Amino acid sequence: MAGPGLQGERFAVIVVGSGISGLFVALEARHLGRVLVLTKGSIDDCNTRWAQGGIAAAVGPLDSPEQHLADTIAAGAGLVDEEAARILCYEAPARIRDLVRYGVSFDSLGGEVALGREAAHSRARVLHAGGDRTGAEIETALSEAAKDPAITILDHTLVTRVITREGEAAGVEAVALQTGEREVYLADAVVLGTGGAGQLFSHTTNPDVATGDGVALAFDAGAEIADIEFYQFHPTALRVPGVPTFLISEAVRGEGAVLRNRAGEAFMKRYHPLADLAPRDVVARAIVREMRSDGSDHVLLDCTGLKSVDLAARFPAIFAYCMSAGIDIRVDPIPVAPAAHYLMGGVRTDTWGRTTVPRLYACGECACTGVHGANRLASNSLMETVVFGKRVVEHLAAGGGGAAAATPDRAALPMPATAAPSHAELQAMMWECAGIERDGAGLERGLQTIAGWPARGEGAVTREAFERQQMTTVAALMLTAALRRTESRGGHYRSDYPETDDAHWKRRQVFVRER
């Protein structure tokens, strides 16, 4: 409960973020009392809306949660929390039913739900809605359902601090961006559902809002941050001069599209037995090496052999976007290159979404449940948001309270004393120093760059200035973790330490703010 002396409008639950995790939590929690959703953009600005591939669940007759679990563990490169992954895989079918109840209409074929296969899945278990518009379809359905008297949604409202009293989360401080007014909102629980951090990098599939705010807010409040070095770069984003980066879903390769180099060679068979459906980290690094060998900034994704697939119907958003860039994917190969896509680490939580700060919860991409380990299995991300969002609310309904147990060997780190001069300078530095291939010299150079930036402003209230501070915090955490992890594993690849070192590094790195 909030401590004495605090004044502000009071809610049962405050949710920060309006993607699938935030809206799902708000909908599930409305029976607990008034729910407040705060989002710095509009309700539509979120990573969910851009998720093309789909949502994974073992609902097919030839599939099982146990097989889904085995694939998740295999993809995670030795660091998956098996308890959390088991919960994800076994509760996934029920969460699909919840989404249907909230109005999501999944694609069907012959009267049965249509299931696709994506990289590192041993079965076809990926559900889609609206073809390659799965995220948008889910977001639209949840946004409509959230028009409920019990749910207050304030957009263009920037959360600048999680308020703690006697060590517990008690509410948030926020700024109404359109008026500049500062507000305090109080609640019995605060849930962070702010999404990822793709804007740390100059090439990303993420929207402008993905600046790592939830991770930085939690770190500042004293919560643990885990696995922050593991960042997933999606292998195939459109790379056309003058055209914004756009995700070309893995589901395109799932339908049979082939990656080719400049010579026209289908090169992935040289890198992995699964060829074009190898894990994302393998495919991304293979593309980088092919580009380097060819002296090119892209490879080609060839869909022209998919004569039995109606590409315009199966991938309407991709088809339309490529056509607008002058590419007819039925006859033209698509120029693609890797781009920053998904943060595997984040605010460390237990299987009920609790952080190490009592009454502060996190779910979705900003959280680190341990489900993804060092490398996320495709289409597990949307499912993670609803599985653990549901568990957050179940815990609150049972009385809430308590916190995730602290990690005994966590490392204390200071908040950065500086902030990036601009988004572009931070993005360029991170792409160069902490991108797909890393080394010690580059990571140290990145930390030195941060140390040389201007001092943090006091009381930054503009969205851009505040985002630069949050991005600098997350960048410093990521660079530090990547520098300390002297091995390669999953989404973290060190060219100076190219081998996986289980003897020393089959463990998670956890950081907490130095006090």
The residues annotated as belonging to the active site are 280
Please spell the DSSP secondary structure of 445-458, one letter per residue: HHHHHHHTSPBPPT
Give 72's contacts (C-beta < 8 A, 6+ positions apart): 80, 85, 88, 89, 371, 377, 380
C-alpha distances in angstroms, 293 versus 264, 289, 298, 336? 14, 6, 11, 16
Terminal CA-to-CA distance of the chain, rounded, Å? 24
Q: What is the largest CA-CA distance in the chain?
A: 70
Token output for 51? 């998720």
Residue that has been written with the tokens 């209409």 in this structure: 105
The one-character DSSP state at 470 is H
CA distance 357 to 267: 48
CA distance 344 to 364: 10
Q: Left (φ > 0), alpha (ψ -120 to 50) or beta: where does 457 sit? A: beta
Count CB atoms within 10 A of the CB of residue 359. 26
- Cα–Cα nearest to 488, from 292, 230, 244: 230
Angle at 326 between CA 321 and CA 329, to 5 degrees: 65
Q: Supply φ then ψ for residue 171, to 5 degrees.
A: 160, -160
CA distance 298 to 261: 8
Determine the angle formed by the axes of helices 82-101 and 380-397, rounding to 10 degrees: 90
Hey, what amino acid is at 200? L
Q: Which parts of 189-249 fold into alpha helices (H)?
A: 213-221
Q: Left (φ > 0), alpha (ψ -120 to 50) or beta: where does 509 sit? A: beta
**Coil/strand/helix, residue 21:** helix
- Residue positions counted in the chain: 515
CA distance 351 to 372: 13
Token output for 326? 């002058």
Of the CA atoms within 13 Å of residue 280, those in its CB half-sphere come to 33
Q: Which residues pair with 513 in a beta bridge?
A: 413
- Cα–Cα nearest to 39, from 200, 164, 191, 141: 191
Count CB atoms within 10 A of the CB of residue 227. 27
